[in-house]
Structure 1
Amino acid sequence: MRKVADILRNTWLAAALTVAVLPVSIGHAQGIPAPKVKADAKLLVEADELIYDNDHNTVTAKGNAELHYGPRTLQADRVRYDRGTGRVFAEGNVRLTEADGGVVTGEKMELTDDFKTGFVDSLRVQQSVERKNETVRVRFSAPRGERVDGEQTSFDYGSYTACEPCKDAPEKPPLWQIRAQKIIHNNETHTIYFEESTLELAGIPVLYLPYFEAPDPTEKRKTGFLTPRFISTTALGKGVSLPYFINFAPNYDLTLTPTILSRQGVLGQAEFRHRLDNGFYSLRLSGISQTTPSAFLPSPLGAGERDFRGSVESQGRFYINERWRTGWDVVGVTDKWFLDNYRIRNQSITTDFFREAVSTAYLTGQGDRSWFDARAYYFKGLSSFDWQKQQPIVAPVIDYDKRVNAPPEIGGELRFQANITSLNREVTQYQGLPRTTTYLFSPSVNGVSFPLYQTCAVFARGACLIQGLAGQDTRASAQLTWRRSFIDDYGQKFTPFASLRADTFFVNPNLSGYQNDLAPSVARIDDGVSGRVMPTVGLDYRYPFVANFGGLGVHTIEPIGQLLLRPSETKIGRLPNEDAQSLVFDDTSLFEWDKFSGYDRVEGGVRTNLGGQYSVVTPSGWYANVLFGESIQLAGVNSFRRGDLANTGLESGLDKTLSDYVGRFQVSPNQNITFITRARFNQADFHVARFETGVTARFAPFVPLTTSLFYSYYEAQPLLGYSHYREGLTASATYNITPNWFVSGSLLLDLTHYLDVRNTYSDALANYFVNPIGAAPIYENPGRFYAAGASFGGGYQDECTTVTLNYINSPIATATGVRERNQTVLLRVELKTLGEADLRQNVGVATTADGIASPH
């Protein structure tokens, strides 16, 4: 060994040499178990110079000293190893790298020879962990610290943060940090303990905590308290939720969330989650015995008479094999207002002007060229405006789709489609059509119609619509389709096709009970079993003319024509229509063989669809497309001219022999900007019947702005219940002021709000049901530009902190149909690795808030 040291001292080249010193015991790296080390593992040393002092039994490494023991590495300007005591003393730019990549730095370190135990001066620790597709780095620092067995590190008067130090001024305090008299990081339990600690924001103390603990960033699931949530509302009072998470095992856990409310008592919640080898499921229970039920409106506008209220929510998904999966998403509530009143969020709840919870169970299979889906649905209306008896229970809905190559004799492709739908509804859902420009339809609460609105007392075509028929409605449909494309020598593309569709209906209407006794006047509904067959043959013709002008791009002009030969649709208006009430005629449906949205209706008669499109693509990325065309009924009964129970087809633009014209214009100067306009023009005088236009743009990297703006206009459709035209504007934008600071906003303007009397009554109309005597409607004129919904805000985001502040103005579906606005300010703060907190505060007073009594 002395010879080696002499060589190093006398050579002119500062060469690195590795020297085996002695075996030591096996240890663990910080944060994760160290790789197994052999019992005879050696301490390996690299340095510019090694000095042996036999008198003191020490070895000193100078200049770029680097010591290795198993997965750990110690680097320093100078390292002295005492062979007698087994201690390692390192000085100057000391850096200890752990097996998991964690780094401990300091000015001086005194360690055992396995680097597991010792003291560190000017201690700094950095640990990096991959979480949610990003790298999170945490930092500890202290004037002095101690490592014990490589499993625990204590910091005296230390600090903890996940923020990067400022590059220009590293001495500045981070955006946030925890300072404590003592910080203990236990790598075995993956827990950080803080004693006498203070949260500092930009160096300013804002919160004192005598003691708390938190999981370290390597721990994704750990038993303990989660971030509390604070609540303040008129009906609930002030309160706080304190979730407690129990990690039973890596694959299942339980979260208990008691919420103490000053006005209602204690809301209890429990959520159990379990992940299995082939899927997962969850169950959440919520319940409260209210101390002040009178804070909520009485029936039928609220749950003011209920003491106990609660909900059951469950979700599951299981993969049977690589092609099949099954699952469910279920919501059950004691009353329709509970989830909204207590601000319990669920992904199966859809929210717009009206709210509902959709419960479903399903079985889905996916093949190479086939698809199967079987489902059951239960719809729960969650606003006072909904009457649950009018909501159908749908079970089952079965869809099957299979494509195969046709026999060589005919070529092409064969496609088989099948659908079975069965539903049951207790009460018929009527809608009265407007007789004047004043009243639109008949809203009701639990079947009680408002007296100031036109009612549909006796069903009559042209005066009423049936959006859902009471009783049992089952339909089975099957369709076989063939098509094949040919391209001739001139580039013309011919696609002949043929299909055969058969539908069988079983209808058993409920003719007793409230509103159902009107069904005898429902225009001769076929009771019992009935059928319908629709054969179709047709031809699709396209002849694209393509010209390449080099730098000016590739230009394509393509005339398109379709001819469909089929008999007239039968039993129009004699069968229920549940799944084909939505009909939009525009550029996307112009060349559809069947323009109805569902199976309950089928397009019949001889028809031709004519149009053409022009497109250009340039080498610079410019793209433009224009399409224009119309649909013509040549023979037979026009399916869209004879309305069914819901008047589907009428005023659609297809209900005349010569349909309205439809068109589309789209321009994309580059991949970041797209302008699109689509419209429908009246065939007689070419006035605009439907118009949509908008732009989406992303201006980065030149301007850090992403924005969209869309305008929509739809003319009046009195036969469908819309006596006035509808006009609106939506806009959204996000602007990154700096890489960290941003502002964003969105706006929904109802430009025809002043025309709709449903939206001009005050809460006095709702009070009619509470105190009918003396209650009178109050008319208000909100003006032409009514902000139906809006949100504005901004925030800050970096590697350790996210802070957002938003103002949200959202509509509320109230008992009277009045579109009141719920105005909320939401503050969200996330300190990465510590947790996040939300503070939500309502501003203004929505006296007609759904199910909530007016404040006194």
Structure 2
Amino acid sequence: MDGGVVQGAAQGTGGALRKVADIAVTVSMAALMTAGLGLAASRAQAQAGLERLAGSTQDPKGQRLLVEADELIYDNDRNTVTARGNAQLSYGTRTLQADRVRYDRGTSRVFAEGNVRLTDETGALVTGDRMELTDDFKNGFVDALRIQQTVELKGEVVRTRISAPRAERIAGEQSSFDYATYTACEPCKDNPAKPPLWQIKAAKIIHNNETHTISYEDAALEIGGIPVAYMPYFESADPTVKRKTGFLTPRFITTTALGSGLSTPFFINLDPSYDLTLSPAFLSRQGVLGQAEYRQRLDNGSYNVRLSGIFQSTPSAFLPGPLGAADRDFRGSIESRGRFYLNERWRTGWDLVGVTDKWFLDNYRIRNQNITTEYFREAVSTGYLIGQGDRSWFEARGYYFKALSSFDWQKEQPIVAPVIDYDKRIDGPGKIGGEVRFEANVTSLTRDATDYQGIPRTGSYLFTPTVNGVAFPLYETCTEFNRERCIVRGLGGTTTRLSAQASWRRSFIDDAGQVITPFAYLRTDLFSLNPSRTGFQNQFAGSIANIDDGLTGRVMPAIGLDYRYPFVADFGALGVHTIEPIAQVIARPSESRIGRLPNEDAQSLVFDDTSLFAWDKFSGYDRVEGGVRANLGGQYSVVTSSGWYANVMFGESIQIAGVNSFRRGDLANVGLDSGLEDRRSDFVGRAQLSPNQNISFISRFRLGQGDLGVNRFETGVTARFAPFLPLETSLFYSYYQAQPALGFAHRREGVTATATYRITPNWFLTGSALVDLTHYLDARDTYTDLYNTYLANPVGAPPVYRSGNPFYLSGMSLGGGYQDECTTISLNYIVSPIATAIGVRERNQTFLLRLELKTLGEADLRQNVGTVTTADGIAAVR
């Protein structure tokens, strides 16, 4: 083959690959058969030329240019090597693929044409019609360029794209694109020429791989191909960057009390392990709100500190004390969170919140993960140490509760430190076997003022709130303590308790399938009580003549037996049916010192199917169940191969001997009106039905022992109708009979519902609602309603309830939006209950618009609606 040209044709199935001097040449069997006597010279000549090529492209680090192709043409006259057909050139971690690649040894340039694809060390993919590059692929020009890069953003894989008619690659670190577009949206499959949902068009886009920045000159943001914003110049971090100094997405603010404003967060990347974010907010009515957050990650954890503060220009926008902060010029907060792993078993941390006043975080819309969002709000500060073994658990904590509602008085909030829990399980010794469990708890708390609640008269109001310690006068109040009129939710002074319990249980299964589980436990409690009997509200504690003071204790031993006998029948296609009678007997002495000890952690007693067979039905350590009791019940279940599942359970609890712990109320009347206060309890049960994995019905109920009257009832359904209907929904109804001894003068009844409907895979509608069906029995309306009610119904007269529609929408959310791989946009209308001061509206109505352009940023606009105040502590607009 004169002219120094060596050709090899690939076999149709891909050929056999042979590497010569680190350059791969594919020679087909057809070439071997047709080359004849010239084959040896051709291969030898090719080998020599390829070795010279490889030697010329070796860099100081020893990297070589490797070539693979269906056909390789080596031209000595032009000093070029051409790879045709599935050509692939590799240099280090960079790879170039094309239909045809020509390498010019004289200029050290690589020319690629046809379906050109260049992959760099980061995994970014550059495609184009034609590329001209240096032999290390670091410099050159690209025609009809397209770049695709895959990154992980907030745990989600996002693909970004840059396209331009021409681009230049400089030193492998910088790429310059003329008349380019940038987007994170996938092209339309049916019409690739259609503009993406959003894109940035710029006269020039420069991507710097060394600084990991993308700069845009003479740029415009387009939505659906329509320009909506013009930016002469701006710069952003590329999608591979998670931390870079610069401005973050601004936040727009508009409220009656604050005025209109803009928050401009600025992120400072001080070090790969720590950073600082400054977020001044410029408010037209109040001045400048300063915010700063410092974050640091250490070898074994991380922590952050956030400061906020403002010298208010218009304090009168807020209510005067004690219902607001109109008397304050400076307001602020400090927040911190820490998480540290000491070793594989131990961790520690904290969550702290400190504020100048209870309304600050709400008034200035400062988000905090430690604030509960119930009707009455509070900020919880805690520090903890947690250890976890294979079969053990240790946790030590301290708590500080900051009340954030105008109805709350801080002196009634306890400081709880420490709270220590320990739980250890071991195998029973020797022939005893089974499981031995040891539990311990230490709790100490202090509060300045006794937290009491007036028991309403029959048919009277729901609760007795106080505003900064002053009881609202339209409610029944405790002028002096007696058990018929008052409940003590928390005792003023200091209470410390040490509790320990050791238990054993073991299950035996006989040949007939009966399951017999004997068990025993010993519970001991030691109290150190120092109740405060002086000061505001503490005189009520002084009138409790029989409350213990100093050191006191109690011991509760118990033995019991749990018996279950499941009858199982397999009916083939009709499923496996199981009937299981259950009987449990527990023998204990009577509970001692009922009503003489405080109850802080055992006030949430709920008797239902989940607690029927509990050894101790109280929710915490401050109470302990006593007496001889039998728990009786049974359940039936069926499971079919088609996925059908049903379960029904029913039972009751019977006090056999001793004092019924639930018949004698403590300082908080826990046990009364629970369904357990009589010798034979209410009946409890549940019914569950799941015809398939997409639909589930469940009901729970508590029925009166004598008349089977409904005392507690919960029922609901969750359903997912895909793929037939793109709808997910849930609907739950709850009913709770009046519990006057616990402060609930009338029944509580309501409905909650949620639904999400996907109009298309991208468009969706969503909604939720909370309907209070007994609001007409509740006196929590406006001050005017209460005052008029009080005038028409003075103390001692039968109550007169507000008339009106019983269907009251306590909370609601309606909205919809669009979501795809690059964009999320949603609009929601939210109605939510908030804790408000007397004389202001009870519900907060908000429109929330949220827009996220992935890799660029996100923004939200929140607008309250209404003509009166919509936040606690804010003065009404007239």
TM-score bracket relative to the smaller structure: over 0.9
Name 1:322's counterpart in structure 2.
Answer: 344
Name 1:143's counterpart in structure 2.
Answer: 165
Q: 1:13 to 1:391 in 2, by over 3 A?
A: closer
Name 1:88's counterpart in structure 2.
Answer: 110
Matched to 1:103, the amino acid is L
8 Å CA contact 2:7, 2:73 repeated in 1: no
Counterpart of 2:491 (choices 448, 455, 469) is 469
8 Å CA contact 2:598, 2:622 repeated in 1: yes
- The answer as to 2:368 corresponding to 1:346 is yes
Name 1:517's counterpart in structure 2.
Answer: 539
Tell me how far 1:54 sits from its aligned partner.
4.6
Name 1:417's counterpart in structure 2.
Answer: 439
Name 1:178's counterpart in structure 2.
Answer: 200
CA distance in 2, matches of 1:733, 1:38: 64
- The answer as to 2:411 corresponding to 1:389 is yes
Matched to 1:610, the amino acid is L
Tell me how far 1:534 sits from its aligned partner.
1.0
- The answer as to 2:846 corresponding to 1:843 is no
Residue pairs, 1:701-850, within 5 angstroms: 701-759=723-781, 761-762=783-784, 781=803, 783-816=805-838, 820-847=842-869, 849-850=871-872
- The answer as to 2:457 corresponding to 1:435 is yes
CA distance in 1, matches of 2:376, 2:4: 84
Tell me how far 1:845 sits from its aligned partner.
3.1
Tell me how far 1:520 sits from its aligned partner.
2.2
Residue pairs, 1:137-536, within 5 angstroms: 137-536=159-558
Residue pairs, 1:621-636, within 5 angstroms: 621-636=643-658
Tell me how far 1:95 sits from its aligned partner.
2.2
Tell me how far 1:757 sits from its aligned partner.
1.2
Tell me how far 1:821 sits from its aligned partner.
1.0
Tell me how far 1:97 sits from its aligned partner.
2.2
Tell me how far 1:23 sits from its aligned partner.
4.8
Tell me how far 1:328 sits from its aligned partner.
0.7
Tell me how far 1:551 sits from its aligned partner.
1.4
- The answer as to 2:875 corresponding to 1:853 is yes
Matched to 2:854, the amino acid is K
TM (normalized to structure 2)? Answer: 0.92
Name 1:5's counterpart in structure 2.
Answer: 5
Deviation readout 1:626-681 (Å, 9 max, x if unpaired)? 11111111111111111111100001000001111111101111222211101000
What is the SS of the residue equivalent to 1:649?
strand
CA distance in 2, matches of 1:750, 1:693: 16
Tell me how far 1:763 sits from its aligned partner.
8.9
Matched to 1:582, the amino acid is S
Instruction: Figure out how many residues of one structure are paired with residues of the other and give that number.
Output: 836
Name 1:597's counterpart in structure 2.
Answer: 619
Q: 1:780 to 1:689 in 2, by over 3 A?
A: closer
Tell me how far 1:828 sits from its aligned partner.
1.0
What is the SS of the residue equivalent to 1:684?
coil
CA distance in 1, matches of 2:483, 2:124: 77
Name 2:662's counterpart in structure 1.
Answer: 640
Q: Which shows bigger deviation, 362-371 or 39-48?
A: 39-48
Deviation readout 1:362-418 (Å, 9 max, x if unpaired)? 111111111111111001110111100000000111111111122214222211111
Deviation readout 1:545-583 (Å, 9 max, x if unpaired)? 111111111111111111111111111111111111111
Q: Identity across aligned pairs (percent)?
A: 72
Counterpart of 2:680 (choices 652, 658, 661) is 658
CA distance in 1, matches of 2:626, 2:125: 75
Gaps of 5+ in 2: 18-23, 26-49, 791-799
8 Å CA contact 1:765, 1:816 repeated in 2: no
CA distance in 2, matches of 1:523, 1:783: 46
Q: 1:721 to 1:222 in 2, by over 3 A?
A: same
Q: 1:542 to 1:366 in 2, by over 3 A?
A: same
Name 2:32's counterpart in structure 1.
Answer: none
Name 1:33's counterpart in structure 2.
Answer: none
What is the SS of the residue equivalent to 1:513?
coil
Matched to 1:5, the amino acid is V
What is the SS of the residue equivalent to 1:350?
coil
Tell me how far 1:6 sits from its aligned partner.
3.7
Tell me how far 1:247 sits from its aligned partner.
1.4
Q: 1:210 to 1:555 in 2, by over 3 A?
A: same
CA distance in 2, matches of 1:54, 1:123: 32
Gaps of 5+ in 1: 27-36, 769-777
Tell me how far 1:11 sits from its aligned partner.
10
Matched to 2:749, the amino acid is E
Matched to 1:592, the amino acid is A
CA distance in 1, matches of 2:635, 2:11: 82
Q: 1:541 to 1:57 in 2, by over 3 A?
A: closer
Deviation readout 1:289-334 (Å, 9 max, x if unpaired)? 1111111101010011111111111111111111111111111111
8 Å CA contact 2:462, 2:746 repeated in 1: no
Q: 1:454 to 1:818 in 2, by over 3 A?
A: farther
Name 2:123's counterpart in structure 1.
Answer: 101
CA distance in 2, matches of 1:644, 1:12: 90
Tell me how far 1:819 sits from its aligned partner.
6.8
TM (normalized to structure 1)? Answer: 0.94
8 Å CA contact 1:759, 1:818 repeated in 2: no
8 Å CA contact 1:2, 1:52 repeated in 2: no
Matched to 1:73, the amino acid is T
CA distance in 2, matches of 1:10, 1:276: 57
Q: 1:42 to 1:565 in 2, by over 3 A?
A: closer
CA distance in 2, matches of 1:258, 1:466: 45
Deviation readout 1:668-697 (Å, 9 max, x if unpaired)? 112222111010001111110000001112
Name 2:36's counterpart in structure 1.
Answer: none
Give the aligned CA root-mean-square deviation in angstroms: 2.2
What is the SS of the residue equivalent to 1:399?
strand
Q: Which shows bigger deviation, 616-625 or 195-204?
A: 616-625
